[in-house]
Chain A
Amino acid sequence: MQPLVLVVDDEEDGRTALQTILTEWGYDVEVAADGQEALKKVSNSRPALVITDLVMPDVDGMSLLGALQRELPRVPVIILTGFATVDSAVTAMREGAYDYLTKPVEIERLRVLLEKALDKAKVLQELTILRRRVKDVWGLGRLIGHSKPMQEVQRLIELAAGTAAPVLVNGETGTGKELVARTLHELSPRSKGPFLAVNCAAMPETLLESEIFGHERGAFTDARERREGCFELAHGGTLFLDEVAEMRPSTQVKFLRVLQEGTLRRLGGKGEIKVDVRVVAATNQDPTAALRAGTLREDLYYRLNVFSIAMPPLRQRLDDIPLIVAGFIEEFNAKYDKHVKAAGDATLEILMSHSWPGNVRELRNVVERALIMCEADILTLASLPSDSKAPTLPRYEDRDTMTVPLGVPLREVEKEFVLRTLAAENNNKTRAAERLQIAAKTLHNMLHRWNLMGSKAGLSNGGARAPERS
């Protein structure tokens, strides 16, 4: 199949000439008389390349370019124009045009340009396919895991990545909330733009406001110079705000205003500054609890909660540990010039029986320390730090039996026991409550307390894991 080229020009004679030439060169060609018609055509047929005039009625070439960048960011666009000025060329290139030719076009130059653009598009497409394959092996980017909770996280990330909507990520410390934000950024059309991360809990409130919104000279005692804030620096990209519920309510109001209006005012500034930033906010608190406690403003929550991604704690996806550990071994081998091939089965077994209160970050530290200590090519029990060897989670022998080593905290035993019963009853809460001989309301309250209400992923995980261990 020949690549499809869409030619957009309001001059019929010029359009037909280009169509004839491109057809002669072996391309499939479609034509449109203006940007409006072109947008209709690209929604039905997916061109490999678009050649467009700049000056056209209704939707002109620059608007068409903008729309194509949003709809089909990988499709190269070549602009043809009768204006020989540099400013329109610069604008077109900045807006993402592949190249820009002045009329009358040198036909051979167009031919070379077309071939180069299509080659580049093909390489980019192959790269995307390759990335997808890598993703199939490792998970989504650096978010490693095949477990059901992670599959759900990956599905949500893929859904959200193509949009500019704000995303709220919640999860315990160390679950990888920043990784979610980075992955969202890398998979989004903004991936070429900047990614900035700010921890709202890590600095005093006045400094935080200045960090986020910037300040004018003299805005406060130490403001000796004008400073751009993170929103301005992240223009065209993504801003990750961690621990957003730690923001003072007055700062949250300002933050909400930027989200709603896309403009901000620096501290001590008078003018409004327009910014185009995708915001990913994160909290390690249950957002609804933060709402009730008044630490998170309701209006900001609803604005941020367009997309909500809950990062599962590692104890709910223990089956991902072998893959995660393999990834860390590869990373630390490179960092410490080691040649460890893998973790031994017994080592993985121990790691998979730990409750990991510090989640993936804790696991990372353990693997890093073990790898430094390891002198063989297999990561063994001997190299594990002693505190990670103590089993803290119940172990399962089969679907209907649960064996608990002594020393496991009672609350964890209770939780696992309830989740296992639920899984055994295919997540039917009424039957699970009957089997546990507790009121359905009590079970409901337990799930609510564990933040598992409405989270099918969290519930089904318990069920999915058990048969694999049997």
Chain B
Amino acid sequence: MADRAHDDSPSNGGRAVLDELAGLEETIRRHREGLAAGSWHPTSGELVEALQHLADRVAATRRSVEALQQAQRDERRRLGHDMRAALNTIAGWAHILRLERNPSERVARAADVLDRNVRALAGVIESTDR
């Protein structure tokens, strides 16, 4: 299985997006309070510039969210792949347990349980694949 790249993992990406949103909220709050308190008297040109700046930051945040979503999809795909590979190995060895000529009741039951749970987990992975 491949090593995970930690720097751009979805969890780190998620924190970065939250930081970006918090920065945006802070800027909007400062503008609102400045306007309400009468301490900020922007000309119409300054107001347009401030709004454009905010719009650019919103667009950048949207791109970050989209990249994050893609990273999450890739991560889910990779996890799905690794889990399917592991389940395949478990299912294979469970089948081998059944190949014994006279398996004890305990071994037969173990094979059944492994099989059933492999199928259950495969179903879960399949539902997240969609």
Whether A107 lies near B95 (C-beta < 8 A) is yes
B74 CB to closest chain A CB, in angstroms?
Answer: 12
For A17, give its contact among B83, B89, B129 (CB under 8 Å).
B89
Whether B89 lies near A102 (C-beta < 8 A) is no
- Mask, B73-97, CB within 8 Å of A = 1, is 0000100111111011111110110
B24 within 8 A of A: no
Whether A24 lies near B99 (C-beta < 8 A) is yes
A21 within 8 A of B: yes
B118 within 8 A of A: yes
For A103, give its contact among B87, B93, B95, B119 (CB under 8 Å).
B87
A14 within 8 A of B: yes
B54 within 8 A of A: no
Whether B95 lies near A80 (C-beta < 8 A) is no
A83 within 8 A of B: yes
For A82, give its contact among B81, B90, B92, B118 (CB under 8 Å).
B81
A102 and B89 CA atoms in complex are apart in Å by 13
A31 CB to closest chain B CB, in angstroms?
Answer: 13
A451 CB to closest chain B CB, in angstroms?
Answer: 62
Within 8 A of B (CB), among A93-152: 102-105, 107
CB contacts (< 8 Å) of B82 on chain A: these are 82
Within 8 A of B (CB), among A1-59: 11, 13-14, 17-18, 20-21, 24, 53, 55
Whether A11 lies near B89 (C-beta < 8 A) is yes
Whether B129 lies near A14 (C-beta < 8 A) is no
Whether B99 lies near A104 (C-beta < 8 A) is no
Whether A14 lies near B88 (C-beta < 8 A) is yes
Contact A107 B85, CB 8 Å, known A24-B99, A83-B77: no
Whether A20 lies near B96 (C-beta < 8 A) is yes
A24 and B126 CA atoms in complex are apart in Å by 30
A84 within 8 A of B: yes
B97 CB to closest chain A CB, in angstroms?
Answer: 11
Within 8 A of A (CB), among B105-130: 118-119, 122, 125-126, 129
Contact A11 B85, CB 8 Å, known A21-B99, A24-B99: yes
A55 and B99 CA atoms in complex are apart in Å by 29
CB contacts (< 8 Å) of B77 on chain A: these are 83, 85
B130 CB to closest chain A CB, in angstroms?
Answer: 9
Whether A84 lies near B129 (C-beta < 8 A) is yes
A390 and B41 CA atoms in complex are apart in Å by 115
Whether A104 lies near B129 (C-beta < 8 A) is no
Whether A14 lies near B84 (C-beta < 8 A) is no
- Mask, A390-410, CB within 8 Å of B = 1, is 000000000000000000000
A463 and B112 CA atoms in complex are apart in Å by 78
CB contacts (< 8 Å) of A83 on chain B: these are 77, 80-81, 84
CB contacts (< 8 Å) of A102 on chain B: these are 84
A107 and B119 CA atoms in complex are apart in Å by 12
Whether A14 lies near B85 (C-beta < 8 A) is yes
B82 CB to closest chain A CB, in angstroms?
Answer: 7
For B84, give its contact among A17, A20, A84, A107 (CB under 8 Å).
A84
**Chain A residues packing against B (C-beta within 8 Å):** 11, 13-14, 17-18, 20-21, 24, 53, 55, 80-85, 102-105, 107
In the complex, the 8 A-B pairs of residues with the closest C-beta atoms, listed nearest first: A17-B92, A82-B81, A82-B84, A103-B88, A14-B89, A103-B84, A104-B87, A104-B91
28 contacts between A and B (CB under 8 A): A11-B89, A14-B89, A17-B95, A17-B96, A20-B92, A21-B95, A21-B96, A53-B85, A55-B81, A80-B88, A81-B81, A82-B80, A82-B83, A83-B81, A103-B84, A103-B85, A103-B87, A103-B88, A104-B84, A104-B87, A104-B90, A104-B91, A104-B118, A104-B119, A105-B88, A105-B92, A107-B91, A107-B95
